[in-house]
Amino acid sequence: MTVTDPGARAAAERAGRELEDASALEILGWAAETFQEQFCVTSSMEDAVVAHLAARVRPGVDVVFLDTGYHFPETLGTRDAVAAVMDVNVITLAPPRTVAEQDAELGPALHDRDPDRCCALRKVEPLRRGLAGYRAWATGLRRDESPTRAGTPVVGWDERRGKVKIAPIARWTQRDVDAYVAEHGVLTNPLLDDGYASVGCAPCTRRVAAGEDARAGRWAGRGKTECGLHG
Ligand code: SF4
């Protein structure tokens, strides 16, 4: 399903062009001022970089986390630490069915048999419902993460949800992220220091080898590179 709003789409795309060379803080400042409480950040809790940036321009900003039921304990621990020490409002979304209920209904390990359906049930649909009250959401997408993300605009139109989608660090490199984390003491998922370059659900995430694409460890061998949240 898509949500067509030509005026809002044109405005978002215009903002994307105007903010292409702006800093992450300037982009988030524009978003916070434009959308106020109808703006949120989503976080996979791989790190808290975008949440940290957003809290600088909008203290207490909503940070939405999707708890699929399949996360590593380290990811849930990062979520809890972010909620405890940062000036943000962490909101945890969960799918309507627990993993046990999904297994009972559709059989065990749906992630191995049909990962697209598993992501649709445990990520895409819960996020659609969770974002219903917002007009704009920010993500940590970066152009250097993979070829599928190379064209990410800093501000664009999320056709599927009918919302403005903001990628304030789209132009950053991994080196920029590392420098920001070091400079500001930003919380990061401990798995990043344990061979994982990108952290998702435990059954669908493996460590990467030196020189591999950062997202090579996601759904490895299953012909899938994205969960569907950013399609
Ligand atoms: Fe399911 Fe894997 Fe998608 Fe998580 S990443 S929702 S376990 S298929």
Question: What integer pLDDT is reported at residue 208 of this predicted model?
Answer: 87
Pocket of ligand 1 (CB under 6 A): 68, 70, 111, 115, 118-119, 122-123, 200-201, 203-204, 227
Closest approach atom of ligand 1 to CA 121 = 6
| Residue 214 confidence (pLDDT) above 90 | no
What is the pLDDT confidence band of residue 1, given thresholds at 50, 70 and 90? low
Inter-axis angle of helices 174-184 and 49-57, nearest 10: 60
Q: What confidence tens digit (pLDDT) does each residue in 108-145 have? A: 999 999 999 999 999 999 999 999 999 999 999 999 98
Separation of CA 32 and ligand 1 centre (Å): 31
Q: Which residues are part of a known binding site for [4Fe-4S] cluster? A: 118-119, 201, 204
Both structure tokens of 70: 């399949």
140 vs 180: CA distance, rounded Å = 13
Nearby residues of 126 by Cβ (< 8 Å), 6 or more positions away: 66, 93, 94, 95, 96
Does the annotation mark 40 as catalytic? no
Question: Strand (E) positions, the chain?
Answer: 39-42, 61-66, 88-93, 136-138, 155-158, 163-166
What is the pLDDT confidence band of residue 191, given thresholds at 50, 70 and 90? very high
Both structure tokens of 97: 């069915």
Closest approach atom of ligand 1 to CA 204 = 2
What domains are defined for the chain?
6-190 (3.40.50.620)
> Could you report the predicted ipTM of this complex, rounded to two decimals?
0.99
Inter-axis angle of helices 24-35 and 49-57, nearest 10: 60
What is the pLDDT confidence band of residue 186, given thresholds at 50, 70 and 90? very high
The strand pair at 61-66 and 88-93 is best described as parallel
Name the β-bridge partners of 218. 205
Separation of CA 66 and ligand 1 centre (Å): 11
CB burial of 65-94 (b: ≥16 within 10 Å; e: otherwise) equals bbbbebbbebbeebbeebeeebebebeebe
Q: Are 114 and 80 in contact (CB under 8 A)?
A: no
**Closest Cα to atom 6, ligand 1: which residue?**
119
Q: What confidence tens digit (pLDDT) does each residue in 148-160 have? A: 899 999 999 999 8
Separation of CA 23 and ligand 1 centre (Å): 33
The strand pair at 61-66 and 136-138 is best described as unpaired
Question: What integer pLDDT is reported at residue 212 of this predicted model?
Answer: 81
Annotated catalytic residue within 19, 51, 227, 229? 227
Asked which of 25-39, 61-75, 86-100, 143-157 is least confident by mean pLDDT, the reply is 143-157
